[in-house]
Amino acid sequence: MLDIDMFLPFDSYIPSFFQLFCFFTTLFVIAVFYYIGTIFSGPNSIIECRIVTGWGVTVFALILLGSGFQISLKNAAIILIFIGLVGTIKKWRLLQTSFPTNIFRIFCLGIPLALIAAAMIPTQWDDMSQWLPNARFLHEHNSFPNRFLPESPSVLPGYPYGLPIIVYLVSLISGSLAENAGQIFNLLLWLTFGVAIIRFTREINTLNNSRDTYCDKSKFDWYVCALAALIVVPFNPTWVTRLTFSNYSDVGTSVTLGVIVGILWLSSGKFANGSVAEAQTLGWQAGLAGCALIGLRQTNIILLALVVIGVLLVISLERSANRRQIVKFLARVTVLPLITWACWRWHVETQIGGGEFLLAPTQDWNITEIPRILSQMLVVASNKGGYFALMTAAVGISIFSIGKLKSNLRRISIITAVLFLGFNAFLMFTYVAAFNREDALRVASYWRYNTQLGGVCLLFLIFVIQKLLKKIQYPKYFISEWVKTILIIVVLITPILSAKKLRFDIDPQYNFAKKIGQELKTLLGEKDRLLLASPNTDGQYLVITRYRMHKSARVPLLSTSWNKHGEAELEKLIKEHNINCVWIRGVSEPFKKVFSHKLQKNKASLVRLDATGWSVERQWAIP
């Protein structure tokens, strides 16, 4: 029997009117990306990758115009849309014949899951501290942060704006900040990559076909699209709900990297069979997608470099291209992403002056802790065995295949191995040279960072499965009609049955933190300086509250269980930061002694400083 507790109230599945409007606006932005990608990557580009290609063109244009030429992002977006419209009219016949049927079908199958994503409110730490504040800054100022505008409230205003640009574009059309645009886009991006994986694995086995095999002449059946959805959601070893249904850039990085690797994998095969012109065309599409990759995260330049190294290694081992062809191919893949990177670096250095995750002074490096860091990395890897086992298998196959005959499996294994080994070596370096000792010893976010290789892992996995099925001579048409129907039903029904698990945002503590932020915004003024304190939690709820207080009291610092502030330290911080208000969630002895003995363990309190000292102004029951 079904447990009734597994279901949410019906209205929990339904987005508000504004959330629903943002959902359709996000679909419109994705459609714009698709057509821009079609125009700039050409008729022989891979259809299922054109959304990422168009996103890359958009990121390149907005960073170039918004940072290099200091043009208003609103005007830059209008210019881009105008170019897109002119190009669309000019190439209307091409666009009509290349309608993305496969993308349309997998989006239709993903509607139940997408509506759940659209109804969710942001709750995650980095969402509230950097990604959404960055997007809100774009929305309020139509500009990247610069020295002529008010200081950004973001913790990391210098981070690249590839995903905040999505939120900005949706917000620009909808008129208000579209906080759910990032999570909708992340989900739809995963679904698009599902059909792209099937396209890659089909095309890699038909390398001798005509150059227009990438066009949508081979439409996938509905059940194939359903299978693609299952590949990237429940069967995805790097699926993390809290990363997908958020404005984090990890999913975007995973998919764009997977798209680039897939295209370049196919390119290396084209070089091997003598189709140099087609390989060069694919290199151009990979380069456009690379702009999106560079625009997502500060360190993604490392990922792009590792991909290029892997592909060049494959081409060199196979001696399938001469030096001139390799240089031309390399230019197509790297020039535009490098321009994107250079423009943003220039803007950060001259206009923002920091706001990034930086290397520590060499005297603070955790060199002596390297053995313990490596040990903890292995502990995390053992807890995520599926992903790490697959990537280790790729490394093993690549080593075993050195010197062997050319093969598609060898190529994808070598590229995957270079990425996996190189990226984890880079992560090791950051734990030594950038993280503080405490975060380094617990290898903070090590698993999350590895999910950024999830798209490549899936590409490798599905191709290996396909090879195994071929080897055992699995019947080509083994799926009966009723099984096909069941696949489609499973994709449509599963989100509804899993909604309670997926909707992590309905936690009463999250709603309480949001409510407090909205109330404090009305209770306090811009001249107030507030200390947000939660002595018994890690501070996530405080980050939500601070975000919701936008344009209210300044919040110079947070006090959490990480700080463990004592009485003397609290008094010192109060003086240093001119604090006149304190909001405390729960209580600890130092807080009681400094602020008020009326503080209660099961209540949150707003304490204000007046002529007579600290007094409790208002209290709330903690859920």
Query: For 85-94, what is each residue's pLDDT tens digit?
Result: 776 676 666 5
pLDDT (mean) for 334-358: 93
Shared-domain flag, residues 209 and 253:
yes
3-state class (DSSP) for residue 194? helix
pLDDT (mean) for 231-256: 96
Q: Given a cut of 90, is residue 191 above it in pLDDT?
A: yes
pLDDT (mean) for 580-595: 88
Q: Given a cut of 90, is residue 349 above it in pLDDT?
A: yes
For the chain, percent of residues with pLDDT exceeding 70: 92
> Residues near 547 by Cβ (< 8 Å), separated by ≥ 6?
128, 129, 132, 133, 517
190 contacts 244 by C-beta, under 8 angstroms? yes
pLDDT (mean) for 315-325: 89
In a domain, 300, yes or no: yes
In a domain, 406, yes or no: no
Q: Cα(130)–Cα(141) distance, rounded to whole angstroms?
A: 16
Q: Cα(578)–Cα(572) distance, rounded to whole angstroms?
A: 10
Long-range contacts of 99-102 (CB under 8 A, 24+ apart): 99/216, 100/34, 100/47, 100/48, 100/50, 100/216, 101/216, 101/219, 101/220, 102/47, 102/48, 102/195, 102/199, 102/216, 102/219, 102/220, 102/225
pLDDT (mean) for 184-212: 85
Q: Which of 469, 500, 531 is the last residue of a domain?
A: 500
Shared-domain flag, residues 44 and 172:
yes
587 contacts 599 by C-beta, under 8 angstroms? yes
Structure tokens at 355: 């706001």
The confidence score (pLDDT) of residue 216 equals 46
3-state class (DSSP) for residue 558? strand
Q: Cα(623)–Cα(619) distance, rounded to whole angstroms?
A: 13
Sign of the C-alpha dihedral, residues 225, 228, 234, 239?
negative
- What length does the chain have? 623
Shared-domain flag, residues 189 and 289:
yes
> Residues near 376 by Cβ (< 8 Å), separated by ≥ 6?
441, 442, 443, 446
Query: For 135-149, what is each residue's pLDDT tens digit?
Result: 999 999 999 999 999
In a domain, 515, yes or no: yes
In a domain, 4, yes or no: no
- Band the pLDDT of 257: cuts 50, 70, 90: very high
Sign of the C-alpha dihedral, residues 129, 130, 133, 137?
positive
Query: For 119-135, what is each residue's pLDDT tens digit?
Result: 999 999 999 999 999 99
Q: Which among 269, 250, 241, 200 is positioned nearest to 46, based on CA atoms?
A: 200
Structure tokens at 459: 């590409």
- Band the pLDDT of 205: cuts 50, 70, 90: confident
Shared-domain flag, residues 263 and 190:
yes
Shared-domain flag, residues 513 and 490:
no
Q: Cα(446)–Cα(378) distance, rounded to whole angstroms?
A: 10
Total domains, the chain? 2
225 burial (CB, 10 Å; 0-12 / 13-18 / 19+) is buried
The confidence score (pLDDT) of residue 227 equals 94
Q: Which among 482, 49, 526, 17 is positioned nearest to 285, based on CA atoms?
A: 49
3-state class (DSSP) for residue 16? coil
What are the residues facing 615 on neighbouring strands? 608
Structure tokens at 324: 């001139």
Q: Which of 466, 500, 534 is the last residue of a domain?
A: 500
Residue 358: count of CB within 10 angstroms of its CB: 11
The confidence score (pLDDT) of residue 562 equals 85
- Band the pLDDT of 197: cuts 50, 70, 90: very high
The confidence score (pLDDT) of residue 88 equals 65
Shared-domain flag, residues 590 and 485:
no
The confidence score (pLDDT) of residue 91 equals 61
Q: Given a cut of 50, is residue 552 above it in pLDDT?
A: yes
The confidence score (pLDDT) of residue 94 equals 56
Quote the mean pLDDT of the chain.
90
Q: Which among 25, 26, 30, 37 is positioned nearest to 87, based on CA atoms?
A: 37
Shared-domain flag, residues 484 and 512:
no
In a domain, 297, yes or no: yes
What are the residues facing 531 on neighbouring strands? 557, 582
Specify the DSSP class assigned to residue 572: H
The confidence score (pLDDT) of residue 619 equals 92
Shared-domain flag, residues 588 and 493:
no
The confidence score (pLDDT) of residue 425 equals 97
In a domain, 450, yes or no: no
The confidence score (pLDDT) of residue 213 equals 43
Shared-domain flag, residues 496 and 516:
no
Instruction: Name the residue range of residue 491's domain.
Output: 12-354+478-500
Q: Cα(552)–Cα(512) distance, rounded to whole angstroms?
A: 18
What are the residues facing 621 on neighbouring strands? 603
Shared-domain flag, residues 512 and 492:
no
3-state class (DSSP) for residue 143? coil
Structure tokens at 223: 């059940």
Q: Residue 520's domain is classified under what CATH number? A: 3.40.50
Place of tokens 């002119």: 86
Shared-domain flag, residues 492 and 608:
no
- Band the pLDDT of 479: cuts 50, 70, 90: low
Query: For 6-25, what is each residue's pLDDT tens digit?
Result: 455 555 668 899 999 999 99
Specify the DSSP class assigned to residue 616: E
Q: Given a cut of 80, is residue 316 above it in pLDDT?
A: yes
The confidence score (pLDDT) of residue 214 equals 43
Q: Given a cut of 80, is residue 473 above it in pLDDT?
A: no
State the pTM of this model.
0.93
The confidence score (pLDDT) of residue 3 equals 45
- Band the pLDDT of 613: cuts 50, 70, 90: confident
Structure tokens at 543: 């980050």
List Cα–Cα distances, 153 to 136, 158, 336, 450, in angstroms.
Answer: 10, 12, 30, 28
Residue 619: count of CB within 10 angstroms of its CB: 16
Shared-domain flag, residues 582 and 490:
no
What are the residues facing 581 on neighbouring strands? 530, 608
